Amino acid sequence: MSKVRALRCISCGAHYDPDRIDYTCPACGPRRGTLEVLYDEDVLRTTLRRDSFAATGRLSMWRYEALLPIDDMRYVQPLRVGWTPLYSFPRLAEDLGLAAFYVKDDGQNPTASYKDRASSLVVIKAQEKGRKTVTCASTGNAASSLSGFAAAAGLPAVIFVPERAPEAKVAQLLVYGAKVFSVRGSYDDAYDLAAQAADTFGWYNRSAAMNPYLVEGKKTGAFEIAEQLEWSPPDVVFIGVGDGSVVSGLCKGFDEFARLGLIDRVPRVIGVQAEGSSTIAAAFSHYQGGAVEFEDGNAETVADSICVGKPRDVVKAVTYVARNGGSFVTVTDDEILDAILKLARTTGVFAEPAGAASYAGLLQLARAGTLKGQSAAIVVSGNGLKDVASARKRVGNPIRIGPDLEEIRQHV
């Protein structure tokens, strides 16, 4: 018997049988009709305690199996995903005027991004549903993630990326054996084409927001932050935002833990968008409750993983962050690139641009004095080695010398 009670439309509230629908609400369409996964929380309250997760002995996101929509754990891949480190930096916290400062480094997942949490789960769902091929559109991280976990499960993966996707991420796809289509166009063009192909050929689609189980994998980051801080999460958590699914996942994770009585308060979640790709932040700025109104636009930012002009989870992201009590901020590309260096040189964590966006957002609010005395965490959603070219824009060249000690003296 499935642990999932129903799938509920984020807009109209209609409930659907999870065995009868794969993606979005037929009445509201693929963007306004993204679905929420519902569980029997009355049962969970009677069976789950704070020590239930450690009792599994698992040092991965599967320690939260009871709160995940998986019916057959035989399909769980051997790759370790989740339970990534949460580092504390007291001296940096003091410099920033914070009570505490934490870095959640999801660049340590198997394919080096937060997206592994979702891909691992979706590949399992594909096998439970008897699907033989998985697909998605991505600017790079979701695609490389899906390709890696599909390879571990022995499933073919068909990937659609915009032609400007970073070379390192495309290389990952090809190394994992995926069939890769580089689309002459934007991420949004690739997304629409992947959806058409999935419908035509019967592939199971992992593309952002369309698949309701993505958020379930992504919520585990919130679970881990709460548990790693001994059930006392920080006051505020920052995350870079593109399509809106990761920020939705963090909000849902903290909310579920609070409703189950596992944490006493919910951190404010701050979504950070690049100024050149800020559709969700703009929608949030004039949200008054009720229907979410948004206007798509072109996207242009150095942070390819959050470069989305037509975000697919905009309704859920705005609704969840508003319910959470959080907010959105926007940062410039210069702030993002500077944040890569500042984060690396003060913590030793090398983030790709989208991962450093969370730190850029925190620095912006810290400088404004709005975080004074609060505890804060940032989520680094991807490793910097995924986009070395962007990091090189802010660093110089090595000092060239001959094999001569005297030449070193000139520079020391």
Strand partners, 236: 268, 376
Q: From CA 151, how far away is CA 77, in angstroms rounded?
A: 10
Question: Quick one: three-class SS letters along the chain?
Answer: CCCEEEEEECCCCCEECCCCCCCCCCCCHHHHCCEEEEECHHHHHHHCCHHHCHHHCCCCHHHHHHHCCCCCHHHCCCCCCCCCCEEECHHHHHHHCCCEEEEEEHHHCCCCECCHHHHHHHHHHHHHCCCCCEEEECCCHHHHHHHHHHHHHCCCEEEEEECCCCHHHHHHHHHCCCEEEEECCCHHHHHHHHHHHHHHHCCEECCCCCCCCHHHHHCHHHHHHHHHCCCCCCCEEEEECCCCHHHHHHHHHHHHHHHCCCCCCCCEEEEEEECCCCHHHHHHHCCCCCCCCCCCCCCCCCCHHHCCCCCCCHHHHHHHHHHHCCEEEEECHHHHHHHHHHHHHHHCCCECHHHHHHHHHHHHHHHCCCCCCCEEEEEECEEHHHHHHHHHCCCCCCCCCCCCHHHHHCCC
Can you give the pLDDT at residue 166? 82
Backbone angles phi, psi at 241, to 5 degrees: -130, 130
Q: What are phi and psi of 236, to 5 degrees?
A: -145, 145
Distance of alpha carbon 167 from alpha carbon 180, whole angstroms: 13
CA distance linking residue 389 with residue 387, whole number of Å: 5
- Quickly tell me which residue has 């009709």 as its tokens: 33
Q: Give yes or no for a contact between 220 and 109, defined as CB atoms under 8 angstroms apart.
A: no
Cα–Cα distance for residue pair 92/77, rounded to 1 Å: 37
Report the distance separating Cα 166 and Cα 141, nearest Å: 10
Predicted confidence pLDDT, tens digits, the chain (412 residues): 578 999 999 999 999 999 999 999 999 998 999 999 999 999 999 999 999 999 999 999 999 999 999 998 999 999 999 999 999 999 999 999 999 999 999 999 999 999 999 999 999 999 999 999 999 998 778 999 999 999 999 999 999 999 888 888 889 999 999 999 999 998 889 999 999 999 999 999 999 889 999 999 999 999 999 999 999 999 999 999 999 999 999 999 999 999 999 999 999 999 999 999 999 999 999 999 999 999 998 899 999 889 999 999 999 999 999 999 999 999 999 999 999 999 999 999 999 999 999 999 999 999 999 999 999 999 999 999 988 888 888 888 888 999 999 999 999 8
CA distance 303 to 315: 22
| Distance of alpha carbon 260 from alpha carbon 39, whole angstroms | 11
Q: Are 140 and 386 in contact (CB under 8 A)?
A: yes
